[in-house]
Amino acid sequence: MAKVTLLAHTPNPEATVAAAAKLCYSPSTIESIQEGLTPEKTAAFVEMLSEIGHESPIEHVSFTFGVEEISRACSHQLVRHRLASYSQKSQRYVSEDSFEYIIPPEVEAIPEAKAEFIRQMEAIDAGYKNLAEILTKKHTESFLAAGLDEKEAVKKAKKKAFEDARFLLPNACETKIVVTMNARSLMNFFRHRCCNRAQWEIKDVADQMLALVLEVAPNLFKNAGPSCVSGGCPEGGMTCGRIKEVREEYKKLKGN
């Protein structure tokens, strides 16, 4: 299971969204735009935006998450959501010697499959260490010949070795990433990745992210979740066929 942390968010996110929405529908000045925005009126503004599909005001608030204990396979799916900012642990600058890895639950559940999976990870780890060592030795000699002192030569050699040795690393390799999305992008992310047809690992990340934003902006994310929570299933013949159960699941998540 991934570990997801809400690192930061726009202060008073729902009030900020309500102020932006109010500006669209009233003659208020910027100086007075937040006057009279009681919690009740703020909630009403946010709910109105959801009902009429006016989503641009929710782009004014953003949320930053730390995500760890996920695989590279998962992070590759995550970064496909382009309207976001990402900072990920680099395999060029950080050695993956004795790397951590993610074991899929279906593999974990079968002792024979798990044992084979671990054997392969250990073999890759040994190959990575060996290749990095060979490359480091070769690059160190080259940098020494170019006139660098030994400490600097080894430092540069290791970095250069990591760049090529990482080509051996598997999708299972554990990674860490910081993600920032505005609320509109998050809504889109939840529609796609909270879905039962999403890969298990990124669905876990999405569900944890949704639970975290609900704590600080419950009205804003009242209708968030997979597409079928607030409408029909877009998957056609590939639907999971569990719309009723999914809706109940997300009602519970939101405390309804």
Give the residue numbers marked as catalytic.
Answer: 193
Tracing tokens 């569990």 back to the chain, one arrives at 242
3-state secondary structure of 114: helix
DSSP string, 144-166: HHTT--HHHHHHHHHHHHHHHHG
Helices (H) and strands (E) in the chain, counts: 10, 4
Question: Long-range contacts made by residues 119-124, C-beta under 8 angstroms, separation at least 24?
Answer: 120/170, 121/170, 121/172, 124/168, 124/169, 124/170
Question: Long-range contacts made by residues 231-239, C-beta under 8 angstroms, separation at least 24?
Answer: 235/195, 235/197, 238/197, 239/197
CA distances from 134 to 129, 164, 173 (A): 9, 11, 22
C-alpha neighbours within 13 Å on the C-beta side of residue 179: 29
